[in-house]
Amino acid sequence: MTTVTGKYQITLPKRLVEAYGINVGDEVDLMAAGETIALVPARARRPSLPPEERLRLFDEASRRQKLRDQTNRLPAGSAQERGWTREELYTRGRPR
């Protein structure tokens, strides 16, 4: 466990420093991750993509998903024709 000093400083455990290759003078980012704080070595950060590239990639992924949705349709018809009901999907494999 690490303790915060009066100057709000912490000492990193040696095993983590060695495992992640952090050296004296290296910059690290502290990032909020829900209810925790993540310490990320600066060299591990990925450069962010420009908004245009992110939108292009998002549009490509959306097109791929639409194609998958068209080809992977659930069987039409009643539960009798399918041989199963929606409720059975939630109880299958559980002890009764």
Look at phi and psi of residue 93 and say left if phi exceeds 0, alpha if psi is from -120 to 50, else beta: left
- For 14-69, the pLDDT digits (tens) are 998 898 888 888 888 888 988 999 888 877 666 678 889 989 999 999 999 999 88
Q: pLDDT-based confidence at 79, cuts 50/70/90?
A: low
Q: Which are the contacts of 41, defined by CB distance < 8 A and separation ≥ 6?
A: 20, 21, 22, 26, 27, 28, 29
Task: Tell me the domain boundaries of the chain.
Answer: 51-91
- Asked if 11 and 2 count as a contact pair (C-beta separation under 8 A), the reply is yes
Q: What angle do CA 67, 61, 43 make, to 5 degrees?
A: 155
User: Per-residue pLDDT for 90 more than 90?
Assistant: no
User: Per-residue pLDDT for 75 more than 70?
Assistant: no
Measured distance CA(76)–CA(82) in Å, rounded:
8
CA 62 to chain centre: 19
Q: How many residues does the chain have?
A: 96
